[in-house]
Amino acid sequence: MSLKTPEQYRESLRDGRVNFMYGERIEDVTTHQEFKVPLETASQDYDYESPGMRDIRTYTTDDGTEAHRVFQIPRTEEDLHKRLEMMRNTSILGGTTAVYMALMNARGQLGQVNSQYADNVESVYGLARDNDLRAVEAITDAKGDRGRRPVDQDDLDLYTRIVERRDDGIVVRGAKLHITAACLAHDIVVMPTKAMGPGEEDFSVSFSIPVNTPGVKIINQTYAHPDMSTFDYPLSAAHNMPEGFIIFDDVFVPWERVFLAGEHELAGVFAHALGLWERIGGLVAMVERSKLLVGIAQLLAEYHGISKAGHIVEKTTELIFYAELLRMTLDNSLRNYQTTEDGMVYPSPLEINVGKYYGASNWHGMVRHIHDISGGIVVTLPSEADLRNEETEGYLRKYLYTKSEVDVEDRMRLINLIRDLTADAYGGWELVTTIQAGGGLAAQRIVTYRSYDLEDAKQVARDAAGISS
Ligand SMILES: Cc1cc2nc3c(=O)[nH]c(=O)nc-3n(C[C@H](O)[C@H](O)[C@H](O)COP(=O)(O)OP(=O)(O)OC[C@H]3O[C@@H](n4cnc5c(N)ncnc54)[C@H](O)[C@@H]3O)c2cc1C
């Protein structure tokens, strides 16, 4: 019943979990080379001792115990601000653990249909909080033919489903795809991928299970490799987290860990609640990254002697518009927070979805500005090894020189950052992830349309047209 140390966290992952990567069965994720960087990243969330971290990362629960702030149910706008500060200092695994906030958001609605589900949410959340556990959000199904309903698929397992109901629980079969950090979490929180209808009771299933539950298998993929140089790959080499293709091969889930088992009318509640908390994380990250783009553009333009050129100033200003609109949207979402019936405070879904959509749908255009400013060197710069080779170092220092106040190594580092962020390992992943993670653009359009006060807008139109009825 306490906070874990980084070492206790690593030890807790030696639990017989079944992982695969690049055709190999991984016996122990804590010692395998491929997981070295992700494990280090995730372990840092358990560092409560570095200066300032205890305050940023912990809070005091109603029981008087200390817990990670990711479990704090926000009750005020200030709590939301503290949560955002924590998120800026947390790995993506800490981010996915916000799945418990989504469950707590949905709890009230679940309780109206089955009080046991609401009690289960509460107890699973309490268990995770008191044992300093991390969880992943497993919502995206394989989905097969997108044009057909789950019941109409050639293989019914293409949507995760209940295959057996027993006195003591349910047996589940299916797969959840693209699940961030699954290999390094303690719990997998499973939710229906979308709203379900009559006849889709078996697909209307939500639960939480430990990663080492018999029948759970994870196939991992990543854009980064353990031997990347931090000079050539400043982002990918230092921060990466595998995505897991999780298989549920007839997995038994006891009733006390089930949040939904057949009530199709509630299936959509999860997607809605999770979408909000996922997109809060996405928007926070975009605010940080958009400022980084502005800094990169200005610094490189100065290094290259083009910072005063009209078209460069224009592009940098476009990047500032992007960064500022994202920042203001996030700020506004906190100011216009909403409150659940039991007093939980959450950022305004309208602003969060508008911000996430705007950020995602304009990222590629902002990257274009960066590439325009940078020049071709972004993808052709020789590597650190060539800089350290005495036969070639002199040529690099001579021909990568721009002016006396710019160190050639600094210029190389900045160019490597641009390539890694926008045109290589992390950057390639990011180009897709920015569009898809958090539910895809279509999901953000739907929530935005539903959240906007259309009645008020119609009244504005009536007034303008002189319509009195
Ligand atoms: C790096 C990364 C990390 C992720 N992490 C997680 C995670 O931790 N947990 C998790 O659960 N998910 C995660 N996701 C999954 C993400 O939420 C999905 O990729 C996203 O919801 C889109 O689903 P999909 O990939 O199956 O694409 P699809 O659903 O196939 O979408 C592709 C296109 O098809 C369209 N489409 C699909 N169905 C229909 C239809 N019936 N009618 C009309 N158009 C349709 C979509 O609108 C979209 O334009 C992650 C994704 C990425 C890339």
pLDDT, tens digit, 9 for 90 and up, residues 197-243: 999 999 999 999 999 999 999 999 999 988 899 999 999 999 899 99
Residues 69-90 have a mean pLDDT of 96
Closest CA to 270 of 160, 415, 390, 412: 160
pLDDT at 20 over 80: yes
CA distance readout (Å), 100 to 247, 276, 383: 22, 12, 43
Residues 236-259 have a mean pLDDT of 96
Q: How far is the CA of 143 from the centre of ligand 1 (A)?
A: 9
Q: Which domains does the chain have, with CATH numbers?
A: 6-113 (1.10.3140.10), 134-262 (2.40.110.10), 270-458 (1.20.140.10)
pLDDT at 45 over 70: yes
Report the nearest-CA residue for atom 7 of ligand 1.
Answer: 179
Q: What is the pLDDT of residue 377?
A: 98
Nearest-atom index, ligand 1, CA of 193: 11
113-125 burial by CB neighbour count: b if 16+ within 10 A, else e?
ebeebbebbeebb
Q: How far is the CA of 144 from the centre of ligand 1 (A)?
A: 12
Q: Residue 404: which pLDDT band, with cuts at 50, 70 and 90?
A: very high
Report the nearest-CA residue for atom 11 of ligand 1.
Answer: 139
pLDDT at 192 over 70: yes
Summarize pLDDT for 159-173 with one digit per residue, the tens: 999 999 999 999 999
Distance CA 78, CA 53 (A): 18
Q: How far is the CA of 140 from the centre of ligand 1 (A)?
A: 7
Q: How far is the CA of 437 from the centre of ligand 1 (A)?
A: 7
Residues 285-301 have a mean pLDDT of 98
Report the nearest-CA residue for atom 46 of ligand 1.
Answer: 442
Nearest-atom index, ligand 1, CA of 147: 41
Residues 422-451 have a mean pLDDT of 94
Residues 335-343 have a mean pLDDT of 94
Q: How far is the CA of 193 from the centre of ligand 1 (A)?
A: 9
Q: What is the pLDDT of residue 169?
A: 98
Q: How far is the CA of 191 from the centre of ligand 1 (A)?
A: 14
Q: Residue 47: which pLDDT band, with cuts at 50, 70 and 90?
A: very high
Residues 397-419 have a mean pLDDT of 98
Q: What is the pLDDT of residue 1?
A: 60
Q: What is the pLDDT of residue 419?
A: 98
Report the nearest-CA residue for atom 40 of ligand 1.
Answer: 146
Residues 397-425 have a mean pLDDT of 98
Q: What is the pLDDT of residue 237?
A: 95
Summarize pLDDT for 92-118 with one digit per residue, the tens: 999 999 999 999 999 999 999 999 999
Summarize pLDDT for 172-182 with one digit per residue, the tens: 999 999 999 99
- Pocket residues: Cβ below 6 A from ligand 1: 96, 136-140, 143, 146, 176, 178-180, 243, 432-433, 436-437, 439-440, 442
Share of the chain above pLDDT 90, in %: 97
